[in-house]
Amino acid sequence: MEKKLKIKELAEYYNKRYELTNYDRYINKNSYDNAINTLLVEITRIIKGTNIGEKIFWDTIKPEKGARAVSVEDFEKQCFKEWIGYLQKNYESCKDNTNFMQDKQKNHIYDSEDEYWEDRVQSFTKNNDSFYENGGNDDLNEELLNGFPDNMVLSEDTIKRAYEAMLEALYDVFYEPFKWDMLKYDSEHKPTDNSYGTKYTREQIESNDRLLDYKNYIGKRKV
């Protein structure tokens, strides 16, 4: 689990990562503190203005004891687009920062449609090459296959895939992403031998029990 940072620590993290200010925290303490407080105030405003389903993000990061804290991963998942917009407007230098550009790409935030498709082509090509580098042979990589077989001519196949897409769309309205990785893990690690004297592991039984209930794999309800 990623470490959670207090709001001030989060502000200091981004200040250092994107080189937003050049004040030394010891030599120019007052200027440094003012710069961090400016970032802290904006991060707080963004978190307070972000809803997750029926809850305010600000309320979800308050522990039973101590100050509010949030991981970089969770903050970027919920707030990064607005945070990036603020930084680009108020910190011109960040646009030339390598970490800033990498984080935008990682969080799929682009300044133009051309920029999006350029990254998409690079990612697609990289995934395809990786597939073959790791043992793929005659099979297409899963992303390229995309659920539609080559030379598909039967209308039943098209209709079946269309219904699958509609079901996925309905799911996306009500729930966070499906836990495919966990389902794959459990399917591969469930007990497969029930002969007398078989020695089972805790991991096998946990996988077996999770597979008994679909609710273990659906994401959190959005509404």
pLDDT tens-digit readout, 2-15: 799 999 999 999 99
Q: Dihedral of the CA atoms 192, 196, 201, 206 (nearest 10)?
A: 60
Please state, in angstroms and rounded to a whole number, the distance separating the CA atoms of residues 157 and 151. 11
Average pLDDT over residues 7-36: 91
What is the H or E stretch that residue 80 is in? helix 72-90
Q: What pLDDT, on the 0 to 100 scale, is given for residue 83?
A: 96
User: Could you tell me the CA-to-CA distances from 133 to 37, 129, 146, 210 in Å, in that order?
Assistant: 48, 6, 20, 33
What is the H or E stretch that residue 4 is in? strand 4-6
- CB half-sphere exposure, 156, CA atoms < 13 A: 0
Average pLDDT over residues 104-112: 87
Region of 112 please: left (phi>0), alpha (psi -120 to 50) or beta: beta
Q: What pLDDT, on the 0 to 100 scale, is given for residue 5?
A: 95
pLDDT tens digits for range 195-207: 677 788 889 889 9
What's the mean per-residue pLDDT of the chain?
86
Q: What pLDDT, on the 0 to 100 scale, is given for residue 147?
A: 56
Q: What pLDDT, on the 0 to 100 scale, is given for residue 13?
A: 96
Percent of the chain exceeding pLDDT 70 equals 90
Q: What pLDDT, on the 0 to 100 scale, is given for residue 166?
A: 92
Please state, in angstroms and rounded to a whole number, the distance separating the CA atoms of residues 27 and 161. 63
CB 35 within 8 A of CB 90: no
Q: Which two tokens stand for residue 46?
A: 């963004």
Residue 174: partners with Cβ closer than 8 Å, 6 or more residues away: 221, 222, 223
Please state, in angstroms and rounded to a whole number, the distance separating the CA atoms of residues 199 and 195. 10
Please state, in angstroms and rounded to a whole number, the distance separating the CA atoms of residues 181 and 175. 16
Q: What pLDDT, on the 0 to 100 scale, is given for residue 137?
A: 55
CB 223 within 8 A of CB 53: yes
Task: Report the DSSP beta bridge partners of residue 81.
Answer: none
Greater confidence (138 vs 29) lies with 29
Q: What pLDDT, on the 0 to 100 scale, is given for residue 161?
A: 84
Greater confidence (36 vs 2) lies with 36
Phi, psi for residue 5 in degrees, rounded to 5: -115, 145
pLDDT grade for 26, boundaries at 50, 70 and 90: confident
pLDDT tens digits for range 117-161: 888 888 878 877 887 777 765 555 666 655 555 555 557 777 888
For 71-82, give one letter per residue: b (16+ CB within 10 A) or e. Answer: ebebbbebbbee
Please state, in angstroms and rounded to a whole number, the distance separating the CA atoms of residues 145 and 39. 44
